[in-house]
Every structure is written in C-alpha cells, then in structure tokens.
Amino acid sequence: MRKSDKLEASEAAAVLEVALARQKAIKSAKFANAEKMFFTRDALEQASGEKITAHRRKRFQTLAESLGSAVAIVDFCCGVGGDSLALCPVGPVTGIDLSEARLVLAKANATALGLSDRFDAVCADVAKFSSANINHSNTINSYQLAFFDPGRRDEQGKRIFKAEAYQPPLSTLKNWLRKDELPNLKGLAVKVSPGIDYDELKQLGLDCEVEIISENGDVKEAVLWFADLRSAGTDKNTTRRATLLYGDKQFNFDDSQGIPKLDCQKPDRYLHEPDGAIIRAGLVECLGADMKAFKIDDEIAFLTSDNLSNSPCARSFEIISSLPFSLKKIKQELQKLKARNLTVKKRGSPIVPDEFIKSLSLKKGDGEDLTVILTRVKNEHTAFITRAI
Ligand SMILES: C[S@@+](CC[C@H](N)C(=O)[O-])C[C@H]1O[C@@H](n2cnc3c(N)ncnc32)[C@H](O)[C@@H]1O
C-alpha cells in the first residue's frame, strides 16, 4: 500500500461505521437495495422503511397527477435520503440538511439507485430556509410539494417527545404553510413520532390530518398531512387515521364519518387488543363496530365479544378466568393451571409486568402458555388469565 492510500484513524472509523450500518440495513429489510446503499447507524434508525415510504408516496402521486404538470419536491431534513429517494418517482427532489456528512451519503444513495438526475442536495438550515439563504434560488419558487422529517433525538440519542423540542421545532413548518418562502406550495407532509401529543398540535394551531402507521403490528410513525395533501384521494374531513400495513394487505380506519358510540359490556369469552395504530389514533370504537365487539370500560382500549372475529387488526385472547387484582389469588390460579410460559400485558394498571412476574415466583408448569392481562373494568383493577389465540 502506498503511503497516500493509508486511511487516517477517523476515516477508517467512518468507513467501518458505514459498513456495519449497511449490514444492519440488509438485516432489517427496510431497503430492498440495502447492499448498495450508505448509512450510519443513527441515520438508518431514523429512516423510514420502503413499505411506509411507498405508502406515503401514493398521496404525493395522486396530488401531483391532479396538478397536471410536473411537480418539484423539497425534502426538509433529508438525512441520508430515504424519503427523498422514495419521492423521486413523483418529481425531482431537492433534499436539504444541515449535516454535510449525511448529504454525502444521500448523494451516494441517489447514485447507487440510479436517481442522481432526480435528486439534488443542499446544505442549509431549514429553519432559515429562504431564497436568500439557500443556494438554490432558481427552483425555490417551483416547489409544490414538501416533506419534513425533523430530528427527534437529543445529543445523547434520547427520544424527544415534545414536538417543539424537535430539531428544528415542529412550528418551523408554519413559515412554509404561510407561503412567504414557498409561494406555490400545494401540500406538505411531516413525519413525527407516533406518540405525538394531539393537544400540543392544537396549541400550535396546526390544522392537519394525523395518520398513525403500523407495520405488521408494530407502530412505526405518524404523518401530519397539510393543505391539498390532506385531501389527495382521501376525505378532507379526516382528522385522524390509522393505517395498518400487513404483508401485502392494508387496513384503514378514520374518523371521516365520525366515531361510533360503543357500549361497554362485561368481558365474557374473548378480549381483543387493537393494533397500536388504532389505539394511538383514538379509533378503537371504529374497530369495535367492525368486529361487533364492545368496550370493557370507557377509558380502556380493550374490546370484548362472545364470538371470535379473527380480525387481523387486533390480537385476541380467550378468557380462562377473571378475578379482582390480588397477587395471591392470581398465583393460586396460575399454579392450578400449571402455567408454562407467562406473558403479562397491562392497560390502565400501575403494575410493572417484569416486577409482577418476579413477585409471583411461579415454578414453570407443564400446562399451556398463558397471558395475564391486568386492566381496569368499571374502575376495578382486574386480572384476566387468558390464552392468546
Ligand atoms: C430524522 S432525520 C431525517 C431522516 C431522513 N428523512 C431520511 O430518510 O434519512 C433528521 C435530520 O434533520 C437534520 N436537521 C436537524 N436540524 C436541522 C436544521 N435546522 N436544518 C436542516 N437539517 C436539520 C439532521 O441533520 C438529520 O439528518
């Protein structure tokens, strides 16, 4: 090796980081072409998988088609380009990010995927986005669609829950919606944490549809849809939506027709735990009406029914016994049933599942695997001993 071929320690560390992140990306199956792409560990964690970006792209495509002419897209906080590159089939994308390093990876990803003629990268602070501040004033007036994915981790890598503490703060988007800087903007979509606080959105005066997305039962993200992207191919009255992506199938629940009133009923044969996207979107009643199930308590997101509905939108449990919460009685019952493996779920109960399992100090039996569900029914702390269906 020639002297000039040697890597500095910091360069070698960066190469290793990218190589390890690529291995992780291949394993995670987030990207079909991961073996050609470039990530860092953090950037990979923050990027949405292709199933979700493809789902989001449909609204962009619908709106772009209705606009009739070619559209240009701006991706605020584009990172390594996961979202930018997913949007390239809709129109040319300009990705803006503060991090030079991430933009290098974003450009390399565009090249690796054969999209370099559809993607441009600009290093700038999106909070100061204006034709004066970004070196891209030739196209700034032509952006019709925008995507924004603010950072949601602090310097130590901890999750940030308050939307105004995001990097940059969520309210930054108000500048763009006012159209001072983006006079031709027709639609904006924003990726936020699935735990977004609806009250905070209200306090910020943000009028949008909130879509919570889960993939194979895991809640992944929330998307805020503004302006014409809110109604592209959908009902503009929708304020909340749950989208469940399962393999090739998709299930949707929304409040466009209002939320049905669901009666409470004493849990009898089955308990159903709705998919987390439905719970976070506050649409448990919509699922209950579909499943012909009842709530067990006005405040609790479990449903009950006498019939098994086999809905892929909920996990179902057959109730073996139900008892008021008492460690001693639950232990006796589980011993009687010779529980083998025990899973504990809770909703509306202060109990910490791991500590609860420890305090039961059960011997492993040769019976079946059981799930104990700790919850509240009419304000009574209740334990259901169940088998998962
Ligand atoms: C959640 S990541 C974006 C991930 C990206 N959508 C992807 O698919 O790879 C957030 C990004 O925001 C960038 N960022 C944070 N504050 C910024 C600011 N004020 N201006 C521009 N970029 C910023 C960070 O550098 C980071 O890449």
Residue 377 has pLDDT above 60, yes or no: yes
- My answer on whether 236 and 339 are in the same domain is no
Residue 119 shares a structural domain with residue 155: yes
Query: Is the pLDDT higher at 362 or at 105?
Result: 105
Give the ranges where the chain is alpha helix by DSSP (H): 9-28, 41-46, 50-67, 82-87, 100-112, 173-177, 198-203, 228-231, 276-280, 284-291, 327-336, 353-360
Write the pLDDT tens digit of every residue in 317-327.
999 999 999 99
Answer whether residue 259 is part of any domain: no
Protein residue closest via CA to atom 3 of ligand 1 = 79
Lowest mean pLDDT, pick from 121-135, 157-171, 177-191, 291-305: 121-135
* Whether pLDDT at 263 is above 60: yes
Which residue's C-alpha comes closest to atom 4 of ligand 1?
A: 79
Residue 4: pLDDT over 80: no
Same-domain pairing of 338 and 209? no
Tell me, yes or no, whether 250 and 278 share the same domain: no
Q: Which of 254, 278, 293 represents a domain boundary (last residue)?
A: 254
Q: Convert the pLDDT of each residue in 284-307 to its tens digit.
A: 999 999 999 999 999 999 999 998
Of 254, 283, 302, the position where a domain reaches its end is: 254
The Cα–Cα gap between 66 and 83 comes to 22
In a shared domain, residues 235 and 123: yes
In this prediction, residues 111-126 reach a mean pLDDT of 94
Query: CATH code at 45?
Result: 3.40.50.150
- Same domain? For 345 and 248 the reply is no
Same domain, 166 and 307: no
State which of 191, 222, 254 marks the end of a domain. Answer: 254
Output the furthest CA–CA distance in the chain (Å, rounded): 78
- The enclosing H or E element of 348 equals none
Return d(Cα 329, Cα 234) in angstroms, integer. 51
Question: Is 351 near ligand 1, meaning CB less than 6 Å away?
Answer: no
Pocket probe for ligand 1: among 42, 85, 98, 191, the residue whose CB has the most ligand atoms within 8 Å is: 98
pLDDT reported for residue 139: 59
* Ligand 1 near 126 CB (within 6 A): yes
Average pLDDT, the chain: 91
Structural domain that includes position 370? 270-388
Tally of structural domains, the chain: 2
pLDDT at 1: 47
Do residue 328 and residue 379 come from a single domain? yes
* Domain match, 236 and 287 both: no
Residue 305 and residue 377 in one domain: yes
In this prediction, residue 131 has a pLDDT band, given cuts at 50, 70 and 90, of low
Give residue 133's pLDDT: 59
Ligand 1 geometric centre to CA of 62 (Å): 26
